Amino acid sequence: MMLVRVVGASLLSVGLLGVFFYTATFLGFLRIVDQDLLVKATVYAIAIGLLAVISILGYLALTAPVEHLRVNRGGGR
């Protein structure tokens, strides 16, 4: 249980530091990378993420098991 908390705290710290450095670079407070490159990389990452979600949904729809329904065409029970 302790390992889970350490991993969670590490992920939270890395995420918050990433947001801080990204925002500071985007607003021009830090000159780590060119701002145009930062915007292009962000748009690219968003596009790749959306296309990945669409692809996963398509794969799930394609490979989902099909339930065959029995149709009663006028007759008995």
Our measurement of the distance from residue 46's CA atom to the centroid of its chain's CA atoms, rounded to an integer in Å, reads 9
Question: What gap in Å lies between CA 27 and CA 35, rounded to an integer?
Answer: 8
SS3 22: helix
Q: What is the pLDDT along the chain (77 residues), one digit of tens a residue?
A: 799 999 999 999 999 999 999 889 888 898 888 889 988 999 999 999 999 999 999 999 999 888 877 777 776 65
Residue 46 pLDDT: 95
Question: What gap in Å lies between CA 60 and CA 52, rounded to an integer?
Answer: 12
- End-to-end alpha carbon distance in the chain: 56
pLDDT in tens, 43-52: 999 999 999 9
